[in-house]
Structure 1
Amino acid sequence: MKPVVSAMQAWSCTVISAFAIIILSVIGGLFRTKHHSLTGHADDPADGPAVAGTVFTAVFVYIGFLVFCGLQGMLHVRENRRGAIAL
């Protein structure tokens, strides 16, 4: 199987996705527990659990990116071990 994206794009996407999963999971957890720093002001969303559901949907999208880009990176590693010539 051939990689779809370049090695640099694959590994960059993997690292960015990992950080996004961590950061968004913390933000989603804070919204779920209705933490006062995120839901305490009059202009902030009143329904914290609904916002948390949306944030966790984004986490699942980033998990998909992490899996896809990680597999693309591993394809590049496997291709380089076989002695393929990179153009």
Structure 2
Amino acid sequence: MKPLVSAFNAWTCIVISLFAIVILSVIGSMFANGHHSMMGSTDDPTDGGKVATAVFGAVAVYGAFLLFCGSQAFLHRRQTSGGEIALR
């Protein structure tokens, strides 16, 4: 199987996805727990649970990106190490 994206793009996507998962998980947990920095103003949403659900949905999307890009990086590593069978 051949990779769909370049190795650079795959590793960039892995780094960005990991960063986004960590940051959005913290933000989502702050909304879920009603932290005062997220829910303390009059302009903030009133239902933190619904906002947390949306944020954790974004975490799931970034998790899917992470799986896809991780598989692409694995394919690049396997291709360059000679693990792929080539019929000539």
Distance 1:70 1:48 in 2: 32
Q: What is the identity percentage for the equivalent residue pairs of Structure 1 and Structure 2?
A: 58
Distance 1:54 1:8 in 2: 30
2:30 is aligned to 30
How far has the Cα of 1:15 moved from its partner? 0.7
1:34 aligned partner, one-letter code: G
1:57 is aligned to 57
Distance 1:8 1:46 in 2: 42
Distance 1:76 1:56 in 2: 30
TM-score by length of 2: 0.92
Q: What is the aligned-residue RMSD (CA, Å)?
A: 1.3
In the alignment, structure 1 residue 72 sits paired with structure 2 residue 72: yes
Aligned residues: 84
TM-score by length of 1: 0.93
2:57 aligned partner, one-letter code: T
